[in-house]
């Protein structure tokens, strides 16, 4: 295997731990805080988690380590999409386990939760672990999207753990995976298995955060990578002065990623799904909003610009959601075959026209043909429209083009409009973790070991005060049930960790609102450049603008 | 304007000059070398450039500066597409001019060559220049694609220069722009205008190089940026283990960019246009070549991979070039209207079927519908197919999909194939220049001033020995005519700088060939990570693998 110079150099990086974890394992004591209760639906959640509900928040501090000394075997899995820093969570966990007792062992189950069920694992040693320090990706053991949520699965998990003598599992995942971690923890406690379960908050999407978890890991590195590219494109736009770039960024439903990138790069336009939903904006209104910026800039002679489009935007447009639901209905079951049998697009179009309500047909009719065809031709195994595949960057640029054509006809717009399209997602999920993510993840893993050592279960590894230097970070744990409420999922009431959407009264969005009118018309681009791992601290170690504004 | 932390930090960077230029202006003397002759067609070129042909190569060395001391006004333009480091060429030129004589002035003509013709300019001062040190983009004065090649234009240029008292022009551009710089130099010399013209070799495409010019600036930064992204995607592919990524990279006709990225990232597949042309490979054969890799990896259980596709690839496929020519013919003049009037794609298809030769129709028929429609629906102002817009990454993945379906039917392939597509171009043209490009460009500009100071014209600023530390770089100048030959362009014989394609017997391609069979089947990805500006020299200061191999 040929290693890049950066990878070789990054092996030498020593992640920064929170100050209170820096005195060696023997000097880490527990401070037990207040008992917790869930953020909503307390009675229901308490009833569902009789053995793990209501436990105390805990923090670590410098003091005598009073945890039980025994040899431990711990299992770890990576769950869901990649996020930079996952390797470091495992490295931190491994180092803390070995520092506690050289006989301790860490099992990495391969390919996500299914590895735990299939008993497919590797036992880590120094040589193996050292190849992955401060690197991106989840390739150390792979990841997967199997959901660990059913009793039959839990039985197998317990069986596998007992076979190896594993007494604790660390689950590195997003909101769903950590919800499931809490359910597994409750199962293990209820059945007196002696198995602890600890979660770690992962996702580049930034939607796993709350009053306890300041941010999920990976969000910092991914948004820095996307912002590098957006900044480079802004500089290109401002040099060539002839293209409008429509840039879609990953992030699933929530618009945290798009907003953070906008705060870093100051583009002309950034759509925010949560605002679109709140204001019940139609596609036409959104297109007009963008066209206003194109128009105002063209009036100044600037026929170029940059617009950021969050991946999940279309789900937030009320009329579009209705259209999608109708299409799913229209093609349900055997109707798909009937539709597919129609020989030409013209005949298919007539079929669609007959099947949709007039309101939805009006929405459908304004879509560019490419998107129309995509909605009908590329469906998931259940026959549903694949919303995440919709090229919304092309959708909006096409709608804007129509708006501008109408304005030109009316004599109110005289510019040129040449759009280009980009989608950034896979580029950022496996970047080398920023110093922040390298430090944060290593700390999360190290801290998870301490939670295990002190006997906790159903807890999320918690490191906070993250907008400050690592020395001042606070390490501890929070019962996962504390973050839960009851939500309707697939027709059932389920206890889940509340997904964090962009808060329209939060500081990051308010800051954006205070500046976006000026950004829309003027050229106030900011160019962040590539992530730096060396050099001045203000270039290398500072985390997101979102967190800085939230902590103001 | 809000500056990013990196931009503020980069302002402080002091670009490294070649050792021989580090002793101060007073200590730079000229060493005159051999008289030169053009690489081919010597008599024709000599006849076309009677005043500037056959001059000596020159190098600078430490020694008494014997140049004529007088106050100078110099003009500079950026020509063509953006390349990282353009700002530093101007900064180096400015600093050398001011160090020579504080009264010297640098005029920046705006928006490319047209700025020179329209007399649209800015006179630089410290405050202005300092905002652009070590930054990406061409936004300092903008660029443009107007060609400066006609006598009428030259007359205007001379007039503008005389008006301001400008006695030298520096043209920062690619092969065409530098060809035109030589023609302008000859014109100015023939007409005793007293105006010198110096060129600087710019292009991210890497196709302006020869035995004198080791590389054009911007190639280093752009390929590092693309390789960062390709490496991140490779790591994602190797973590998720379920996608094949087809990645198109910019670079116009030549495959230098794709090849350099492949040397840095070791993907499973990298197409090289020059090889495709040499072996006269058909689309079908290329698709089979890729499918072989997909197939072999699937047999090992690896249903994922990465393929790099150079932007210019389709131009090199003989049968495809023929198809494009036939389509252009088929839609020439009024036939476009006839075609556009056909109401459905089915009828258009019938029109195409009737119009193409059976051979070309066979090629056309295997293309995915999206590409078929693109070829006919999106044409340039002259009605020609826009080859550069062809989504060749999607073209090849669709062809591979067909190949795999046939193999599955035949029972020789049992894998899954889920392709994803990317195109990287605008992301790299305006990145903050790498230390190499920052140093190289600053040196090119500084050196251009020395060439002016010593009275040279029709020269390209030349800095060589670039695979070594900057201390050992060699600064000098080479007559542009030395790099010229006669080529047929638009039905005319023209003196031009020979465009450099990938040499199939050169070291970079040979190294690639020696490894690609293993890369195609195994997972030997290398992850370069983001460009670093600080930290260990082996991470920050080393230029391309291409140059290292060429200098072996």
Q: In B161-238, at which residue ranges do the beta strands (DSSP E only) sit? A: 168-173, 196-201
pLDDT value of residue A228 = 98
Residue A180: which of A156, A154, A205, A219 has the closest Cα? A154
Q: Is B142 in contact with A241 (Cβ distance < 8 A)?
A: yes
Average pLDDT, integer, range A80-98: 98
Residues of A within 8 A of B137 (CB-CB) are: 235-236, 238-239, 527
Residue B305 CA to residue B288 CA, distance in Å, equals: 15
Instruction: Name chain A contacts of B225, Cβ cutoff 8 Å.
Output: 232, 530
Q: B528–A6: do the CB atoms touch at under 8 Å?
A: yes
The count of other CB atoms within 10 Å of the CB of residue A37 is 15
Q: Among residues B450, B479, B476, which one has the least CA distance to residue B178?
A: B479
Per the DSSP assignment, residues forming a β-bridge with B267 are none
Task: Report yes or no: B275 and B214 within 8 Å, Cβ to Cβ.
Answer: no
**Interatomic CA distance for residues A172 and A218, integer angstroms:** 12
Check A5 against B539: CB less than 8 A apart: yes
Q: B425 to chain A: nearest residue by CA?
A: A233
Mutate to test the interface with A, among B82, B301, B422, B532 (most CBs of A within 10 A): B532
Q: Which residue among A82, A232, A533 sits closest to B428, beta carbon to beta carbon?
A: A232
**Which residues on neighbouring strands pair with residue B420, listed in sequence order?**
B245
For B238-262, the pLDDT digits (tens) are 999 999 999 999 998 999 999 999 9
The stretch A112-125 carries a mean pLDDT of: 97
pLDDT in tens, A187-223: 999 999 999 999 999 999 999 999 999 999 999 999 9
Report the residue from B232, B426, B532 with minimal CB separation from A534. B532
Structure tokens at B97: 């001019």
Which helix (DSSP H) or strand (DSSP E) does residue B145 occupy?
A: none
pLDDT at A45: 97
What letter does residue A154 receive in the DSSP assignment?
Answer: H
Asked if A528's CB is within 8 angstroms of B533's CB, the reply is no
* Closest residue to A6, CB basis, from B266, B524, B529: B529
Partner-chain residue, chosen from B4, B233, B241, that has the shortest CB–CB distance to A142: B241
Most A CBs within 10 Å: which of B3, B5, B303, B516, as the mutation test of the A interface?
B5
Phi-psi region of A171 (alpha: psi -120 to 50; beta: other; left: phi over 0): beta
Which residue shows structure tokens 């840039």? Answer: A247
**C-alpha closest to that of B524 among B232, B234, B225, B230:** B234
Mean pLDDT over residues B133-138, rounded?
98
State the SS3 of B485-502: EEEEECCEEEEEECCCCC
pLDDT above 90 (res A174): yes
pLDDT of residue A4: 97
Instruction: Choose among B81, B526, B529: nearest Cβ to A2.
Output: B526
Least confident among A514-518, B155-159, B386-390, B437-441: B386-390
Q: In this predicted structure, what is the pLDDT of residue B489?
A: 82
Share of residues in chain B with pLDDT > 70 (%): 100
Cβ(B504)–Cβ(A409) under 8 Å?
Answer: no
Chain A residues in contact with B429 by the CB 8 A cut-off are 232, 236
Our CA-based measurement puts residue A240 at a distance from the nearest CA of chain B, in whole angstroms, of 7
Per the residue annotation, which of B205, B220, B437, B439 is the catalytic one?
B205
Averaged confidence pLDDT in chain A? 95
Q: Which two tokens stand for residue B454?
A: 């010593």
CA distance A234 to A244: 9
Measure A455 CA to nearest chain B CA, in Å: 32
Contact B6 A532 (CB under 8 A): yes
Question: Measured between alpha carbons, how far is B463 from B466 in angstroms, rounded to an integer?
Answer: 7
Taking CA–CA distances from B527, the nearest residue in chain A reads A4
| Contact: B266, A527; criterion CB under 8 Å | no
The CA distance from A229 to the nearest CA of chain B, in Å, is: 5
Contact A529 B266 (CB under 8 A): no
Give the global pTM.
Answer: 0.97
Q: Roughly how many angstroms between the first and final C-alpha of chain B, as a whole number?
A: 46
Tell which phi-psi region holds residue A149, choosing left (phi > 0), alpha (psi between -120 and 50) or beta. Answer: alpha
CB–CB contact B527 A432 (8 Å): yes
Determine the pLDDT at residue A290. Answer: 98
Task: Please state the φ and ψ torsions of residue A192, each to the nearest 5 degrees.
Answer: 45, 45
Judge whether A196 and A76 are in contact, CB under 8 Å. no
DSSP for residue B140: T
Separation in Å, CA of B58 to nearest CA in chain A? 34
Confidence of residue A386 (pLDDT cuts 50, 70, 90): confident
Q: Which token pair is B228?
A: 């960062």
Contact B232 A428 (CB under 8 A): yes
**Which residues on A lie below 8 Å from B243 (Cβ)?**
426
Using CA atoms, how far apart are residues B507 and B292, in angstroms rounded to an integer? 25
The percentage of residues in chain B with a pLDDT greater than 90, rounded to a whole number, is 89
pLDDT band at B385 (very low <50, low <70, confident <90, very high): confident
* A533, closest residue in chain B (CA to CA): B532
Residue B383 has pLDDT above 90, yes or no: no
Question: Is A430–B236 a contact, with Cβ atoms under 8 angstroms apart?
Answer: yes
Q: What is the largest CA-CA distance in chain B?
A: 80
* Residues of A belonging to the active site: 205
Distance CA(B354)–CA(B334), nearest Å, equals 17
pLDDT at A321 over 80: yes
Q: Let me know how long chain B is.
A: 552
Report yes or no: B270 and B520 within 8 Å, Cβ to Cβ. no
Nearest to A377 by CA among B392, B18, B115, B369: B369
What does residue A407 show for φ and ψ, rounded to 5 degrees? -70, -35
């Amino acid at each position: 295997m040929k290693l890049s110079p950066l990878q070789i150099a990054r092996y030498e990086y020593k992640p920064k731990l929170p100050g209170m974890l820096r005195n060696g394992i023997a000097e880490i004591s527990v401070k037990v805080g207040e008992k917790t209760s869930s953020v909503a639906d307390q009675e229901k959640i308490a009833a569902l988690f009789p053995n793990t509900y209501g436990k105390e928040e805990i923090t670590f501090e410098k003091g005598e380590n009073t945890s039980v000394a025994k040899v431990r075997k711990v299992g770890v899995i990576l769950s869901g999409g990649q996020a930079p820093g996952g390797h470091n969570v495992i490295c931190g966990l491994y180092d803390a386990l070995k520092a506690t007792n050289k006989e301790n062992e860490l099992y990495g189950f391969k390919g996500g939760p299914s590895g735990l069920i299939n008993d497919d694992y590797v036992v880590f040693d120094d040589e193996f672990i050292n190849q992955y320090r401060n690197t991106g990706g989840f390739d150390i053991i792979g990841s997967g999207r199997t959901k660990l949520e059913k009793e039959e699965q839990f039985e197998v998990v317990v069986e596998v753990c007992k076979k190896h003598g594993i007494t604790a599992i660390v689950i590195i995942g997003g909101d769903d995976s950590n919800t499931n971690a809490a359910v597994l923890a409750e199962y293990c406690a209820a059945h007196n298995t002696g198995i602890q379960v600890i979660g770690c908050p992962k996702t580049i999407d930034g939607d796993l955060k709350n009053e306890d978890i300041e941010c999920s890991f990976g969000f910092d590195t991914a948004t820095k990578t996307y912002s590098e590219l957006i900044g480079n494109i802004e500089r290109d736009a401002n040099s060539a002065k002839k293209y409008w770039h429509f840039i879609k960024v990953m992030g699933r439903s929530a618009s945290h990623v798009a907003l953070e990138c906008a705060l870093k790069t100051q583009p002309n336009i950034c759509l925010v799904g949560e605002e679109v939903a709140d204001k019940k904006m139609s596609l036409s209104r959104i297109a007009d909003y963008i066209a206003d910026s194109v128009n105002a800039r063209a009036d100044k002679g600037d026929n170029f610009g940059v617009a950021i489009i969050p991946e999940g935007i279309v789900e937030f447009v009320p009329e579009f959601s209705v259209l999608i639901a109708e299409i799913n209905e229209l093609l349900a079951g055997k109707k798909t075959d009937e539709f597919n049998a129609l020989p030409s697009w013209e005949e298919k179009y007539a079929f669609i026209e007959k099947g949709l309500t007039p309101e939805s047909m009006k929405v459908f009719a304004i879509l560019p043909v490419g998107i129309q065809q995509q909605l009908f031709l590329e469906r998931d195994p259940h026959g549903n429209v694949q919303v995440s595949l919709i090229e919304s960057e092309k959708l909006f640029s096409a709608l804007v083009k129509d708006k501008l054509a109408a304005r030109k006809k009316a004599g109110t717009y005289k510019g040129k409009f040449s759009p280009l399209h980009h989608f950034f997602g896979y580029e950022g999920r496996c970047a080398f973790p920023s110093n922040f993510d390298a430090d944060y993840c290593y700390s999360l893993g190290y801290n998870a070991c301490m939670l295990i050592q002190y006997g906790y279960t159903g807890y999320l590894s918690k490191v906070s005060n993250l907008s400050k230097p690592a020395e001042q970070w606070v390490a501890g744990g929070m019962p996962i049930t504390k973050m839960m409420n009851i939500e309707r999922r697939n027709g059932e009431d389920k206890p889940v960790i509340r997904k964090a959407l962009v808060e329209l009264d939060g500081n990051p969005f308010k800051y954006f609102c205070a500046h976006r009118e000026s950004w829309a018309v003027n050229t106030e681009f900011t160019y962040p450049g590539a992530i730096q791992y060396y050099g001045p601290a203000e270039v290398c170690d500072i985390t997101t603008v979102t967190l800085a504004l939230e902590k103001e």
